[in-house]
Structure 1
Amino acid sequence: MLTRLSIRDIVLIERLDLTFSAGLTVLTGETGAGKSILLDSLGLALGARADTGLVRAGAAQGSVTAVFEPEDGSDLDALLAENGLDTGEGVLILRRVVTADRKSRAFVNDQPVSVGLLRALGERLVEIHGQHDDTALLQPAGHRDLLDAFGGHAREVRDTAGAADALARAQTALDDARRAIAEAARDADYLRHVLAELEELAPEEGEEEGLANARADMMAAEKVAGDLDAALALLSGSGERTSAGIEQMMAAALRRLEAAAQRVPGRLDEAMQGLDRALVEAGEALAALDRARADLAFDPAVLERTEERLFALRAAARKHDVAVDVLPALRDRFAQRLADLDRGEARVGELEEARDAAAAAYDAAAGALSAARTLAARALETEVTGELGPLALGKARFAVSVTTDPDAGRAPHGRDRVEFLVATIPGTEPAPLMKIASGGEISRFVLALKVALGRARSAPTLVFDEVDRGIGGATADMVGARLKRLADGAQVLVITHSPQVAARGNRHLRIAKTLTDTGASTDVAALDIDARREEIARMLAGTTVTDAARAAADSLLGDRP
């Protein structure tokens, strides 16, 4: 709901601050007072084009700020979140600044935004029905959604959209399977040849690292084997420079010392103990060398086989431009592709059946939606037609066309093209409203549609510009009654010249233009009950307000708020 509108230096308005409330607000004033300036200013805050001459003469820039309290559950939060904005704790402030040279800046909650985003937000907040506006209500693109809202088709629309999604997924699966089979068929001979090579090679994951480590160990062993053999020969006594091993020599030396120690008691004990320890450690060293030599022993034939296997794996990896560890997965993938080719026709048949079933489900859902739309169309025709007579459009005929859209295919929204049509002259075929109706007729048709559609409104605030143009008396009173009824579920602002409509308002604003020596200015005043009586009397009487006009104004106002 619009709660405040602040205008600075726009055309004839130097400074203006207005507050708004729920219900029906009427704006009146003499012709030329500046009512259109208010609409232009509001439109500017909602993202409309910044036309030349909007900035007040002599001012460097003009600005308009519109403050809203969005409805709970509206889709504004998602749009704001997508653009990194928030609702400002339940308040949304749209501001537009335009310079004298037509440069424009837009703000939402004091954060700079694009004019496009401002317009998108504005479309969700306010519907302006001017005499020559191409409103969303009159555009065929929105008629289908309006009819669905009127008919309460949420379940049918949801079922159709779900069926369309399921059909799209089934078709994608079928297309993917056909494409995979076609690719596999083109490469079948190659796949079989490569798969045979890989199956013969039988690569295993991690095999390369194991083979490389084993090869490195065997090559290292080959290099140190000679040194180990020479060391063992020296220590064991098989070398050229000695005929006895180190253990034998140390044991012989120990025996001699033991014999000598008997002649010099205690003098050789330390030497004998050291030699005994050395004899033990020499034995342990020889045993360790034997074990190391055994561990490093290898069969050259094993090294050759290991290298052949490693080189074969690496050659295959180079051939397919993959890592060696990927070869097992590559083999499995080739095997799967051949298996898919072998059972491809059966798989395609299954997917075709699934696609056909999804298509049938869509056709059923879309058919149910079309039937519901056709019934709702007749009901909407009846309701709108019932509103036209009291609005001085009794000879007009309203029709809702529900036809199959040849370009829709199996679309999520169904197959229907919906369009609202009218015939203002009896005997003529209904045609789009914008092509055959005058400005006043368009406004009244919009009002009739709005009243009939009720909950299908697309914005919480509705603005009507001279919806009562060209009518008066009882018909104008009927217009006022419908605006009042429409305002029970929405905020409605109406610019009117009709006292009958003005008397229906919950709140009354008077727009006046003041002429001075330096120019002209437009002001807006909220009227109390006495001022409101006087304004309605002026609208009834014209230039000179008479007592009779005041009495008529009292009669119109009656006990209305």
Structure 2
Amino acid sequence: MLSVLSIRDVVLIEALDLEFGRGLGVLTGETGAGKSILLDSLGLALGARAESGLVRQGQTQAVVSASFEIADPAHPARAMLTENGLATAAGEPVVVRRVVKADGGSRAFVNDQPVSAGLLRELGSMLVEIHGQHDDRGLLNARGHRGLLDSFARADVRAVAAAHGAWRAAEQALARARADIETAAQDRDWLEHAIDELSRFAPEDGEEETLAAERADMQKGARLSEDMVAVMDAFDGSDGGLAQLRQAARRLDRMSGEHPLLAEALAALDRAMIEASDAEDRLNQAAEALRHDPERLETIETRLFELRGLARKHRVAPDALGELLRELTERHGRIEAGAEGLVRLEAELAEKAAIYLRAAEALSLVRQAAAVRLDAAVASELAPLKLDAARFRTVVEPLPEGQWSAEGRDRVEFEISTNPGAPFAPLAKIASGGELSRFILALKVALAEEGGAGTMIFDEIDRGVGGAVASAIGERLARLADKAQLLVVTHSPQVAARGAAHLLIAKSHDGTVTRTGVTALDEGERREEIARMLSGANITDEARAQAGKLLEAA
């Protein structure tokens, strides 16, 4: 709901701050008083095209800001603000602002954050509907007609949307499977060759490191072989060092009792023999580990060469060859099982498509039934609005399969025929602005304001009519105002009398400067203004009496 509108230096408006409430607000004034300037200012704040000619003469810029209260947390404007990082805390208003410079250019703001004019325009369309003679938004846009009909029908589109999502997911899964199988089938010969080659080689995890270590040991053994032989010879045989130590120990053992130092020498010799024996064992183990086997070394080097060659060929690390063999084997298996998998995915796709079709067909029936009810509801509103020769219809027709969507498979558009025998045409094709506004009002009443913005503005909807028709317009506007905030620019006293609030727009002159101002009228002032609308410049007592009757009847 629009709560505050502030205007600075727009054409004839120097400074204006207006507060608005719920219900029906009417704006009246003499022709040329500046009502269009007020609507142009609001349109500017909502993202309309900015023109430097709107800046008041002598000023550098014009500024318009509008504050909106959005009580519903699920309002689409709230979601849009959140998506763009512009959200306010619960209970705080949404403030839009537009600055237009006299030398050209403009800036847009939402909640004091700079935004593009396009984003401001999109947000504005969610907050306010402006229905005027040249407005091409709101009900004139056929893209929104399907959603309006669904709201009128209380149709649950969620089941169709879910079925459509599942159908498209199954379609994508089948397409991916077919692409994978086609790609894999093209590589069948290569796969079979690679699997055969790797299987015959039989790579083992960690094999490169093991083979490289064994080869390094053998290469060391080859370098150390002569020294190892010499060292082993010092230990081996009856003349070896260890044999001589044992022989010396036996002789010393027979003499050790003769002197304490001999006993100590024997103990030290025993320790030396133990260490020498341990050294002999370690030498034997080292000799075995470093044993140089030319045939084994050649086998290891051949294996390493082939292992690393296969790794380079398949562009993987040598230790990843085993995993590669498993992956290629699985890929080959998918090719073999591909036909069976495709059959399953094709069956799933057919099932999901059938579910969507059933849901979409059920939704089409709901829409067709609702269209009949909506046509009847609109028809009942046309005669009181002096549109009794006109006809209205809601077109519900199937779309080509390529245009089916989460909203179903129907095209929905509102069409009218303004004269007997004239063909039906889209709403926007109506030539008469007055007829267009009244048609929109009739449709709004029939739709019971389903899916509309929280604030609606009707600009001179009563142009060219009076009497009973004007009364019918006023009565319907008041009904709509029970469910949304309505602002109406009117020349009709019958409409003005229906307002919950009344703003008078007037020009004033101080001899050099002309200004447009707006005044909120009290009950007495309302009676006087409605009397002026009835009788003209010379207000008569009869006009005042008639104005009182209109206000009482409202």
Normalising by structure 2, report the TM-score.
0.93
The answer to whether the Cα contact below 8 Å between 1:408 and 1:415 also exists between their aligned partners in 2 is no
Q: C-alpha distance in 2, partners of 1:353/1:210?
A: 51
- Indicate the SS of the match to 2:56: coil
Residue aligning to 2:239: 244
Shift of 1:282: 2.7
Q: Secondary structure at the match of 1:8?
A: strand
Paired residue for 2:153? Answer: 151
CA distance in 1, matches of 2:383, 2:503: 29
State which drifts further: 458-467 or 79-88. Answer: 79-88
Question: Following the alignment from structure 2 to structure 1, what is the Cα–Cα distance between the partners of residues 250 and 319?
Answer: 63
Partner residue, 2:16: 16
Q: Does 34-43 or 195-204 show the bigger shift? A: 195-204
2:30 match: 30
Q: Which amino acid in structure 2 is aligned with residue 168 of structure 1?
A: R
Match of 2:350 among 343, 353, 356: 356
Q: Would you say the 8 A contact 2:454–2:484 is kept in 1?
A: yes
- Which structure 2 residue ranges, 5 or more long, are not aligned? none
**1:80 aligned residue:** 81
Report if aligned partners of 1:408, 1:414 keep a CA contact under 8 Å in 2. no
CA gap of 1:341–1:288, structure 2 versus 1, over 3 A, is: closer
Residues 110 and 208 (structure 1), Cα distance of their counterparts in 2 relative to 1, 3 Å cut: same
Query: Residues 556 and 210 (structure 1 numbering): CA distance in 2 closer, same or farther, change over 3 Å?
Result: farther
| Aligned twin of 2:42 | 42
Bigger Cα displacement from structure 2, 216-225 vs 61-70? 216-225
Matched, 1:311 2:305: yes
Inter-partner Cα distance in structure 1 for 2:205 and 2:514: 89
d(CA) in 2 for partners of 1:468, 1:328: 84
Q: Aligned to 1:112, what secondary structure does the other structure show?
A: strand
Q: Which residue of 1 aligns with 2:124?
A: 122
Q: CA deviation at 1:482?
A: 1.0
C-alpha RMSD over aligned residues: 2.3
Tell whether the 8 Å contact from 1:362 to 1:410 is kept in structure 2 after alignment. Answer: no
Residue identity in the other structure for 1:384: V
- Aligned with 1:398 (options 385, 392, 416): 392
Question: Which residue does the alignment assign to 1:411?
Answer: 405
Q: Distance in 1 between matches of 2:198 and 2:494?
A: 92
Q: Which structure 1 residue ranges, 5 or more long, are not aligned?
A: none
**CA 1:212–1:53 in 2, change beyond 3 Å: closer, same or farther?**
same
Distance 1:216 1:394, change over 3 A: farther
**Residue equivalent to 1:135:** 137
1: distance between equivalents of 2:128 and 2:83? 21
Rounded to whole Å, the distance in 2 between the matches of 1:3 and 1:300 is 97
The secondary structure found in structure 2 opposite 1:525 is strand
In the superposition, relative to structure 1, how do residues 182 and 387 fare at CA in structure 2: closer, same or farther (>3 Å)? same
Match of 2:439 among 435, 438, 445: 445
Query: What amino acid is the match of 2:512?
Result: T
| Rounded Cα–Cα distance in structure 2 between residues aligned with 1:260 and 1:181 | 92
Q: State how 1:201-220 maps to structure 2 within 5 Å.
A: 201-220=201-220
What is the number of equivalent residue pairs in this alignment?
A: 552
The DSSP-based 3-state class of the residue aligned with 1:153 is coil
Give SS of 1:554's match: helix
Whether the aligned pair in 1 keeps the contact of 2:25 and 2:503 (CA below 8 Å) is: yes
302-311 or 218-227: which moved more?
Answer: 218-227
Paired residues of 2:51 and 2:100 also in contact (CA < 8 A): no
Alignment of 1:268-417 (within 5 A): 271-297=265-291, 299-406=293-400, 408-417=402-411
Q: Distance in 2 between matches of 1:434 and 1:313?
A: 77
Measure how far apart 1:215 and its partner are.
3.3
Residues 1:468 and 2:462 aligned together: yes
Once residues 538 and 272 of structure 1 are traced to their aligned partners in structure 2, the CA distance between those partners, rounded to angstroms, is: 142
Whole-angstrom distance in 2 between the partners of 1:103 and 1:280? 102
Per-residue deviation, 1:270: 5.3
Return the letter of the residue paired with 2:76: D
Instruction: In structure 2, give the amino acid aligned to 1:215.
Output: R
Shift of 1:521: 0.9
Q: For residues 149-228 of structure 1, what are the structure 2 equivalents within 5 Å?
A: 149-154=151-156, 157-228=157-228
TM-aligned CA deviation for residue 2 of structure 1: 1.1
1:513-539 CA-partner distances (Å, limit 9, x unpaired): 112322211111111111111111111
Residues 502-560 of structure 1 show CA distances to partners (whole Å, capped at 9, x for unaligned) of: 11111111111112322211111111111111111111111111221111111111175
Partner of 2:418: 424
Structure 1 counterpart of 2:78, one-letter code: D
Shift of 1:51: 2.1
CA distance in 2, matches of 1:255, 1:349: 91
> Which segment drifts farther, 280-289 or 90-99?
280-289
